[in-house]
Amino acid sequence: MCGIVGVLGNHEAAPILVEGLKRLEYRGYDSAGIATVDAGKLARRRAVGKLANLSDLLVHEPLAGKSGIGHTRWATHGAPTVDNAHPHRAGPVAVVHNGIIENFKELRANLAADGFEFSTETDTETVALLAERHLRNGLSPQEAAYQTIGELDGAFALAFLFDGHDDLMIATRKGSPLAIGHGDGEMFVGSDAIALAPFTDQITYLEEGDFAILTRTSLEIRDQNGELANRQKRLIQLDVARIDKGGHKHFMAKEIAEQPTAIDRALAAYLGHDNAINLPEALDFSKIERVTLVACGTGYYACLAAKYWFEQIARVPVEVDVASEFRYREPPITPGTLAIFVSQSGETADTLAALRYTAGKATQIAGLVNVPESSIARESDVVLPILAGPEISVASTKAFTCQLVILLLMALKAAEQRGTSLPAGLPQDLRSLPGLIHQTIAGESKVKSVSRELAKAQDIIFLGRGHLYPLALEGALKLKELSYIHAEGYASGELKHGPIALIDENVPVVVMAPSDALFDKTVSNMQEVMARGGKVVLITDAKGAQLASDGVTETLVLPEVNDALSPILYAIPAQQIAYYTAIAKGTDVDQPRNLAKSVTVE
């Protein structure tokens, strides 16, 4: 993971680098650091923990210079210490890195045999040392960097800065994203366009294997074969004010509250006034024999929910997999397969690798992303932006519900094109969702008190059946990542095959059960919990509450909703429980420990 920024500018670099890093902190917050060249002299500052610690350090120990590189770290090799923080320096070279150098042990041994010493446990330090060795052997900085990357295996986006060179930066990528920003007599580097948004809207994305030599007024890019490459300069419109909490205490609270608007936006784009489903024309489900859905984390649960929709509504067989398994399992991809990759960031390394595995095998590759310029978007045949708007909090909320809305629209379109009948009330009932979500969010006072109780537990079980099963999984994931309470989601029917052994008065069970066709089955499972002294929090609608609240410890009542839409509406209490339990436990809601939002390493 990790985020990279760089600037060859006309103003002091340090504040620019910190501003860019602030926008990349979603990629990791174990440590942060910057290096600058001032009057030819290379220097750096690094601090453990969040970016705020680096900002504090810079107040006491400022760093001058108009050229610089910066980094925010998600630790892979070596603990989050100052020594292990980037930029890494070896003699006249400083380097920042996103990715993993897989052959770093061999490189270390080779460098050690040559008398080089190490001051970190990182894989990245080898990059700086290799470049230093080439410089000692008389190569120019450009040549030294070029030779160095030829020695690296693994994934990397790298930016190099050199002592004695105020107007030179090298930026290169293989496997990890990197963008160049064009200013007026200035040049920028960033892990994504978001980092560069305050400085420029003109972006060039480096492609796999690209090697870029930057000065303030020039950019030369060589492709992986060393040939001069002409990469397009794009105009990117990004909301510069996007890192504002908008009056909320946390980004997560803001993003939960934004869901009615985000879903409205997605519906405006994909559902016409006449209720026609407007998806990219290239998507033709009539020729599709099966759908393969691949994602990681919360996106994976959106895919699991979509399996129910595609299979029940459009009668298409669906396979769903986590990208890290899919990519190495070598699944046969037969003609007639539509492969759909779901990723908020569009940069998740495993999902991107899974996409590349299907390229040339699947009939069509569709990317559902929140970042339309991302690698997954650029490598998909058809792109469906989910239009959630920037999501900053590490735990996904509005991106999840927007993914669900668009996957449901895809299933409905598939049904239409394949001649199967749509569920009653759809797609028009989708329009009720923003209002219902708004109503659910507004009625959150009970969730707060329930969450205060849940915060006392050490283990919590979530149950759901049918298309609420993926929501039980998502509810458990959200809770554990935010509150650090152990939580597991199960299909209600699986309870008696093992998890019921855990049930006692100390293990609360959250049951997600709208009053649909499977309600009675779930209620029976709930009774089995209560018969063993288990405390149940039932999330249902008014009808369900009337039928099944006896003996239940707490009932959260949601508005009635079209059955097919319940996974989307029931995402809201799952998010709220995680949020308020985390508040009760005093954990870091937006930046939970050990996590990062964009996972660009395996």
Q: Which residues bind ligand G6P (CB under 6 A)?
A: 296-299, 343-345, 348, 351, 394-396, 595, 597-599
- The identity of residue 232, as a single letter, is Q
Burial of 505 (0-12, 13-18, 19+ CB in 10 A): exposed
Starting from the edge strand earliest in sequence, which strands make up the sheet with 41-48, in order? Answer: 41-48, 31-38, 67-73, 3-8, 187-190, 179-182, 202-205, 234-235
Which residue shows structure tokens 């033709």?
Answer: 284
Rank residues 13 and 376 by Cβ distance to ligand G6P and give the closer one: 376
- DSSP per position, 138-156: T--HHHHHHHHHHT--EEE
Tokens for 93, please give them. 């070279």
In the complex, least distance from residue 585 CB atom to ligand G6P, rounded to whole angstroms: 18
CA quadruple 233, 236, 241, 244: dihedral sign: negative
Tokens for 568, please give them. 């989307």
In the complex, least distance from residue 485 CB atom to ligand G6P, rounded to whole angstroms: 17
Rank residues 479 and 503 by Cβ distance to ligand G6P and give the closer one: 479
303 part of the active site: no
In the complex, least distance from residue 386 CB atom to ligand G6P, rounded to whole angstroms: 10
Rank residues 402 and 495 by Cβ distance to ligand G6P and give the closer one: 402
In the complex, least distance from residue 395 CB atom to ligand G6P, rounded to whole angstroms: 6
Tokens for 114, please give them. 């040559």
Position with the least CB separation from ligand G6P: 297
Half-sphere exposure of 229 (CA within 13 A, CB side): 19
In the complex, least distance from residue 76 CB atom to ligand G6P, rounded to whole angstroms: 15
In the complex, least distance from residue 302 CB atom to ligand G6P, rounded to whole angstroms: 9
Peptide bond into 427 cis (omega under 30): yes
2 part of the active site: yes
**Residue ranges of E strands in 289-446:** 290-295, 318-322, 337-343, 364-369, 382-385
**Active-site residue among 2, 296, 303, 402?**
2
Backbone angles phi, psi at 366, to 5 degrees: -110, 140
Rank residues 214 and 352 by Cβ distance to ligand G6P and give the closer one: 352
C-alpha span between 323 and 600 (Å, rounded):
13
CB neighbours of 186 closer than 8 A, spacing ≥ 6?
7, 8, 9, 10, 199, 200, 216
In the complex, least distance from residue 117 CB atom to ligand G6P, rounded to whole angstroms: 36
Cα three-residue angle 408-410-413, rounded to 5 degrees: 110
Rank residues 525 and 598 by Cβ distance to ligand G6P and give the closer one: 598
In the complex, least distance from residue 479 CB atom to ligand G6P, rounded to whole angstroms: 13
C-alpha span between 576 and 579 (Å, rounded):
5
Tokens for 88, please give them. 């890494």
Rank residues 388 and 529 by Cβ distance to ligand G6P and give the closer one: 388
Rank residues 387 and 599 by Cβ distance to ligand G6P and give the closer one: 599
In the complex, least distance from residue 97 CB atom to ligand G6P, rounded to whole angstroms: 20
- The identity of residue 134, as a single letter, is H
**Active-site residue among 174, 307, 535, 597?**
597
CB neighbours of 85 closer than 8 A, spacing ≥ 6?
31, 32, 33, 46, 47, 48, 71, 73
Which of 181, 298, 158, 172 is CA-nearest to residue 240? 181
First-to-last CA distance in the chain?
Answer: 9
- For 341-351, letters b (16+ CB in 10 Å) and e give bbbbbbbbbbb
C-alpha span between 177 and 369 (Å, rounded):
15
The residues assigned a catalytic role are 2, 597
